[in-house]
Homo-oligomer: A and B are copies of this chain.
Amino acid sequence: MGAVIAEKNVLAASQASGLLKALADPLRMEVIQSLSEGECCVCDLMEKTGLAQSRLSFHLKVLKDSGLITDRQSGRWVYYKLDLKALQLLEDWIADLKKSCKNAAKPCS
């Protein structure tokens, strides 16, 4: 039981780590905020965030590689949007971790 939960955390760990790492950056969080309003092309993201194209592109790649966002090309434009499943996965992972910590506050002998 406890082992199952622990095992689950272990298994999802590398995946969760990727998501956490991608999310744990102020610039990328800004991008996420922007995308929370809806799908958006890179040029609009540039306006919203004020980032240079190359710089933005770099961070979009990090976010995309983590699975937090997906892209879709249409003509000359590339549209990015959040993948809510990834966010849910992260929330679940933290919830699981919390569950497995029932006696985490118990003082040591």
Query: Residues of A at under 8 Å CB distance from B?
Result: 6, 9-10, 13-14, 16-17, 20-21, 23-26, 29, 32-33, 35-41, 79, 81-82, 84, 87-88, 90-91, 94-95, 97-98, 100-101, 103-108
Contact = CB atoms under 8 A, between A and B. Distances in A.
Given A17-B29, A32-B97, A81-B104, 4 more contacts: A36-B97, A36-B101, A38-B104, A82-B105
Contacts of A95: 91
Given A82-B101, A87-B94, A94-B91, A25 B17 contact: yes
A65 B81 CA distance: 33
Given A24-B24, A25-B17, A41 B108 contact: yes
